[in-house]
């Protein structure tokens, strides 16, 4: 089987080459392109956010909760093309209308072998229907009330994406942990890149108003 490739980029998001998935994520992770999609719906007068529990097969964020979907952009693929591909591959959704929010660069420590260093294009969409989960990608999904999520985030401080870029791998281990939140009456371990996004004011506003 051919190992999946990712697009390496410089700090201005100019293409700098290609690398296989594992080498790109091995410490110190190499900067590459990625996408994140947030999925929202309105139910019983409440705004809800879709979270997914990543499968044990993932080399980063295994068994942690993240946003709707995320993925690495492949050579020859656009950000939008990657987002649509991953929506179908992970949770079986096609032909959603995606709205572009913002792009950011960050680094995190994931485990003793792998980490992330991504330029991540963030999208948002509305959807309230059925899903077809790929168990190799997603262990579980849940809708979470945004009001509950924001309440659980109160009083928690987390590093910003910009701050992560100033740290080396050994420092990131302490600075970019996953965070535990009580959601839907159980403790959920939130992946560090999802935590970074949740503390971004622009994203929080979009989750409320989109």
Q: What is the CATH number of the domain that holds 159?
A: 3.90.79.10
Q: Count up the domains in the chain and report the number.
A: 1
Question: Residue 45 in contact with residue 91, Cβ under 8 Å?
Answer: no
The pLDDT value given to residue 17? 97
Q: Choose the catalytic residue: 70, 82, 90, 116.
A: 70
Residue pLDDT tens, the chain, 210 long:
578 999 999 999 999 999 999 999 999 999 999 999 999 999 999 999 999 999 999 999 999 999 999 999 999 999 999 999 999 999 999 999 999 999 999 999 999 999 999 999 999 999 999 999 999 999 999 999 999 999 999 999 999 999 999 999 999 999 999 999 999 999 999 999 999 999 999 999 999 999
SS3 83: helix
Nearest to residue 66, comparing CAs of 167, 205, 183? 183
Burial class of residue 54 (count of CB atoms within 10 Å of its CB; 0-12, 13-18, 19+): buried
**What is the per-residue pLDDT for 3?**
81
Q: What is the pLDDT of residue 1?
A: 56
Q: What is the pLDDT of residue 200?
A: 96
**The domain containing residue 201 runs over which residues?**
5-209
Judge whether 118 counts as a catalytic residue: yes
Selected catalytic residue, list 48, 77, 90, 118:
118
209 strand-pairing partners: none
The sign of the torsion formed by the CA atoms of 127, 129, 134, 139 equals positive
**Active site annotation includes 70:** yes
Residue position matching structure tokens 């701050």: 163
């Amino acid at each position: 089987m051919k190992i999946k490739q990712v697009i390496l980029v410089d700090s201005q998001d100019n293409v700098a080459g290609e690398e296989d998935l594992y080498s790109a994520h091995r410490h110190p992770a190499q900067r590459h392109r990625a996408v994140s999609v947030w999925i929202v719906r309105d139910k019983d007068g409440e705004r809800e956010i879709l979270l997914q529990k990543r499968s044990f097969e993932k080399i980063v964020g295994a068994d942690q909760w993240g946003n709707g979907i995320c993925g690495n952009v492949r050579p020859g693929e656009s950000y939008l093309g990657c987002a649509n591909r991953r929506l179908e591959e992970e949770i079986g959704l096609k032909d959603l209308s995606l709205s572009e929010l913002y792009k950011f660069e960050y680094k995190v420590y994931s485990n003793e072998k792998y980490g992330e260093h991504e330029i991540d294009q963030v999208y948002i969409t509305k959807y309230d229907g059925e899903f077809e989960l790929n168990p190799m990608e997603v262990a579980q999904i849940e809708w979470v009330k945004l009001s509950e999520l924001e309440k659980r985030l109160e009083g928690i401080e987390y590093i910003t994406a910009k701050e992560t870029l100033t740290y080396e791998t050994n420092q990131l281990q302490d600075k970019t942990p996953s965070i535990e939140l009580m959601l839907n009456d159980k403790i959920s371990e939130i992946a560090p890149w999802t935590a970074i996004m949740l503390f971004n004011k622009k994203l929080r506003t979009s989750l409320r108003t989109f």
